[in-house]
Structure 1
Amino acid sequence: MAPLKKFRKDLVALSLSVLFILAVLEVFLRLFYPQVIIDECTDGDYIHIEGNGYTFSKDFGWTTIPNQTHCIWTDKGVHGTATHNNKGLRMNHDILVGKSQDKKRIALFGDSFAYGYGNDQNDTLSFYLQQMFGDGWELLNFGASGYGTDNVYMRYTKEGRLYHPDVVVFLTYSNDPGNILFTEYQGYAKPIFKVNSKGNLITAENQKFGVHPLQPRTRYLESTILERHSHLYMFLQNALAKIGYKLSVILKGKTYKIDPSIRLSHPLGPEDSSVWLIMKNYTNLTDYALIIHFKILDRLVQEVKNDNATFVLANVPGLYLFNDRENMESFLAEFDLHYDDVDFTKPDKLHADYAKSRDVLFVPFYEKFKANQTAYIPKFYTGHYNGEGNQKMAEILYEKIRMENIIG
């Protein structure tokens, strides 16, 4: 056989073998270890795209769109749905403004944890709370991705109180104080609250919001054919990204530091501000954000009490707190921090002290989540708890509220 002919034959055989191996790996991943491929359901990160559930609000920057059901990618690695009722709340039934004639109401406020980001409609915190409280109660979910303490205050005073809730639950997260310092969130202007030289809170109640110029784009439209269809390609892409990240930490060491001199208008990411509250030694920027956070909380608590409702404060522990030691140290290295520089219980302590001083009910989750931490980490990382985690939060909230005789 001529050398060239043999070479071609061997090349064809090798190519077919490689294709066969790739096909086997693709089938294996699809069956036993499916990856998050890029499709319309993965575009939830871009909330500026109105098809993903959010739209401009003249009262508090952005809000959830009424009468909409849209596709989402869930923590289980399968497609799910998010449904908004006639008032834009993530609920399975419509409601009327005003006081309910036959049910008591619980209004849930907060960010994406309250909304149920990455969770199917029947896997959210509000869904499980509704099941536990039963038919005599109605759970209203006012949660929205990206909301900070400021958005929550504005949404309650402008909208939430119109439904006359009997109980108001604010599900705060460790990046809420940092979010206060943002000037915009994915194209939407945010409420701006400040503290003047006399220490008084300057509110955003008369502020006019708008939409910043933002090039409409989605991960789906920008993705390649392989990103849309190949689980093997996405597996390799994610694996290489993790290897590259670890190499950068090893080669560069600490990448950057949270700088107290950063301008307040600088768009710090949620990961930055979620680290703030677990730092043993705060930066000046953290102190400033916390002052505003608790002053807004004071306003919110007072407004709720003026409406003859009961205020409940709950603190959601960051999912990164339950990573293993090695991953946590790599995460902290991004912020020029070490494991010994942080206190995971600090957000609970801060809010517990605040709640005690204001005579409001505080519900912590950290210690009970820590006991069974891996059970609540989603199969596909969304930065949020899986359905089991939401169910556990609902159980803790329900038991605490029931023990305090709030629900009668």
Structure 2
Amino acid sequence: MQPTAKRRVVFRCLLVVGSFLFAIATTETVVRLMGQVDVDGNFSFQGQAVGHRVPPVTAITETLAKYQTTSITRMIYDAETGWRPRPHISTHGGNYRYNARGIRSPPKKYDLQPADGTLRIALFGDSFTHGDDVPFDDTWGAMLEEKLNALGIAAEVINFGVSAYGMDQAFLRWQTLGRSYSPHIVLFGFQAENVNRNVNMLRAFYAGGTGIPFSKPRFVLDDDGTLRLINSPTLSLDRVPKVMANMDSWKLAKYETFYDKARFAKRFWHCSRALSLAVERLSDNEPSRRIAPYRLEGEPARVTLALLSEFRRDVERHNAEFYIVHLPKESDLDRLLENRGCAYQQLLERVSEQQIVIDPQPRLLNAARADSLESLYQRHYSPKGNGIITEVITNILATTLADKR
């Protein structure tokens, strides 16, 4: 080969290598510029955690410091449930108001015993039961009270729902507060994603960037199938960041589903944000990841089913009726509208076999097809979405009550 030809080959090889390196450098730069780094140094890209992770100790420490220097946070520490609404507070422009017991309500006090001739209904659940994003009068609990009274049924609905609660916390709120109000009917809002919360104790591991810096209790299933409560009382405020910083020495670490030691290990590809992102995307089996927590043989589903059964038994021991209200999220309906199925269908069917389930999902789907999904949600339910849920519950309860007369 002539020297000139050799130079051309070398030049072309260098050009290819240079172009390749330039593309890598450009990709790395774009990923770094478009991503976000939190106070603990954890990197995320379009909401997805990327690369080496460390427990968010700094973030939680800062959140706790703010919490301890103010008296206006909506949530406060609770040794039994993890957190609960602050009594006598009004937030979100007056849309969220809580009475002396931390119950979302209009400015009123509920007597422990219902008035003679009044049907008392108690609601338990997370933010979809609490009615996040809408004023009190637009929650399905408030609408239910209004609808039943309009039908001539003297009813009082008390909303014990709390934002960010797991099903276990809702059950404990029934035990520690709700049952003292002697309701005739208990409605539990089943929001399926909370199956994950049932196997979580340190919320910061489950919900990155959380504004709730507390730990929560959880139940585990012993070999004989009985539920056992752990992390109760919950970690004191000063212990939360210390435990997170030293998870491997915490005696309950094996029960924290969302602490994966391998996830916090350093890998050689973590030196590159772009390469780390590629690894995350290639290894993320989204359909399997969505369905996994709801598999009937898995711990989250087994704990959930046992928890709901115990919830019902305890309600019935206190002479009340127990109903489950299925509360699908916007993403759940979106999957159904796109014919991708319900990720937790098997679990929902099993719950329906064991419990009385009120299911507004068909009505919500019809409304989404007739109008739009966005008309039913504004992160949580819109007034229209809450109205549909109210109508479904009202029809079933009114029919059931009429049959008993």
Alignment CA distance shift 1:212-1:389 (3 Å): farther
Q: Distance in 2 between matches of 1:202 and 1:320?
A: 32
Is residue 381 of structure 2 the alignment partner of residue 370 of structure 1? Answer: no
AA in 2 matched with 1:361:
I
Q: Is the contact between residue 325 and residue 359 of structure 2 (CA under 8 Å) also seen in structure 1?
A: yes
In structure 2, the residue corresponding to 1:203 is in which secondary structure?
strand
Q: Is the contact between residue 377 and residue 389 of structure 1 (CA under 8 Å) also seen in structure 2?
A: no
Q: Distance in 1 between matches of 2:111 and 2:236?
A: 26
Alignment CA distance shift 1:403-1:345 (3 Å): farther
Instruction: Report Cα offsets for 1:77-130 as digits up to 9, x if no partner.
Output: xxx621112221111142345211332210000000001111122211111111
Q: Structure 1 residue 355: deviation in Å?
A: 3.7
Instruction: Report Cα offsets for 1:147-181 as digits up to 9, x if no partner.
Output: 11110111111110000000000001011110012
Alignment CA distance shift 1:116-1:283 (3 Å): closer
Once the two structures are superposed, the pairs formed by residues 125-140 of structure 1 within 5 Å of their partners are: 125-134=140-149, 136-140=154-158
Q: Is the contact between residue 104 and residue 160 of structure 2 (CA under 8 Å) also seen in structure 1?
A: yes
In structure 2, the residue corresponding to 1:395 is in which secondary structure?
helix
Instruction: Report Cα offsets for 1:2-26 as digits up to 9, x if no partner.
Output: xxxxxxxxxxxxxxxxxxxxxxxxx
AA in 2 matched with 1:320:
S
Once the two structures are superposed, the pairs formed by residues 82-231 of structure 1 within 5 Å of their partners are: 82-102=96-116, 103-134=118-149, 136-185=154-203, 186-204=212-230, 206-211=232-237
Equivalent in 394, 397, 402 of residue 401 of structure 1: 397
In structure 2, the residue corresponding to 1:152 is in which secondary structure?
helix
AA in 1 matched with 2:300:
A
Corresponding residue for residue 40 of structure 1: none
Equivalent in 301, 306, 316 of residue 295 of structure 1: 306
AA in 2 matched with 1:179:
R
Once the two structures are superposed, the pairs formed by residues 10-25 of structure 1 within 5 Å of their partners are: none
AA in 1 matched with 2:397:
I
Unaligned runs of 5+ in 1: 1-45, 73-79, 216-247, 260-271, 329-338
Q: Distance in 1 between matches of 2:353 and 2:386?
A: 25
Q: Distance in 2 between matches of 1:387 and 1:178?
A: 27
Equivalent in 63, 66, 71 of residue 87 of structure 2: 66
Q: Is the contact between residue 128 and residue 380 of structure 2 (CA under 8 Å) also seen in structure 1?
A: yes
Is residue 348 of structure 2 the alignment partner of residue 351 of structure 1? Answer: yes
Alignment CA distance shift 1:213-1:93 (3 Å): same
AA in 2 matched with 1:146:
A
RMSD: 3.6
Alignment CA distance shift 1:141-1:205 (3 Å): farther
Q: Is the contact between residue 114 and residue 144 of structure 1 (CA under 8 Å) also seen in structure 2?
A: yes
Q: Structure 1 residue 404: deviation in Å?
A: 2.2
Q: Is the contact between residue 171 and residue 313 of structure 1 (CA under 8 Å) also seen in structure 2?
A: yes
Q: Is the contact between residue 220 and residue 303 of structure 2 (CA under 8 Å) also seen in structure 1?
A: yes
Q: Structure 1 residue 191: deviation in Å?
A: 0.9
Alignment CA distance shift 1:284-1:278 (3 Å): closer
Q: Distance in 2 between matches of 1:350 and 1:380?
A: 24
Is residue 311 of structure 2 the alignment partner of residue 311 of structure 1? Answer: no
Corresponding residue for residue 390 of structure 1: 386
Q: Structure 1 residue 282: deviation in Å?
A: 6.1
Q: Is the contact between residue 106 and residue 139 of structure 1 (CA under 8 Å) also seen in structure 2?
A: yes
In structure 1, the residue corresponding to 2:92 is in which secondary structure?
strand
In structure 1, the residue corresponding to 2:364 is in which secondary structure?
helix
Alignment CA distance shift 1:60-1:283 (3 Å): closer
Q: Structure 1 residue 52: deviation in Å?
A: 4.4
In structure 1, the residue corresponding to 2:124 is in which secondary structure?
strand
Alignment CA distance shift 1:402-1:288 (3 Å): same
Q: Structure 1 residue 367: deviation in Å?
A: 1.6
Q: Is the contact between residue 104 and residue 159 of structure 2 (CA under 8 Å) also seen in structure 1?
A: yes
Q: Alignment length, in residue pairs? A: 291
After superposing on structure 2, the runs of 4+ consecutive aligned residues of structure 1 that deviate more than 4 Å are 46-50, 212-215, 251-254, 256-259, 275-278, 281-286, 374-382
In structure 2, the residue corresponding to 1:132 is in which secondary structure?
helix
Q: Distance in 2 between matches of 1:256 and 1:211?
A: 38
Give the TM-score, by structure 2 length.
0.63
Q: Distance in 2 between matches of 1:324 and 1:200?
A: 35
Q: Structure 1 residue 302: deviation in Å?
A: 0.4
Q: Is the contact between residue 97 and residue 163 of structure 1 (CA under 8 Å) also seen in structure 2?
A: yes
Instruction: Report Cα offsets for 1:337-379 as digits up to 9, x if no partner.
Output: xx88x531744x533433433xx42111222111111657457
Q: Structure 1 residue 54: deviation in Å?
A: 1.3
Alignment CA distance shift 1:67-1:314 (3 Å): same
Q: Is the contact between residue 186 and residue 315 of structure 2 (CA under 8 Å) also seen in structure 1?
A: yes
Q: Structure 1 residue 298: deviation in Å?
A: 1.2
Q: Structure 1 residue 182: deviation in Å?
A: 1.4
Q: Is the contact between residue 112 and residue 145 of structure 1 (CA under 8 Å) also seen in structure 2?
A: yes
Alignment CA distance shift 1:253-1:385 (3 Å): farther
In structure 2, the residue corresponding to 1:199 is in which secondary structure?
coil
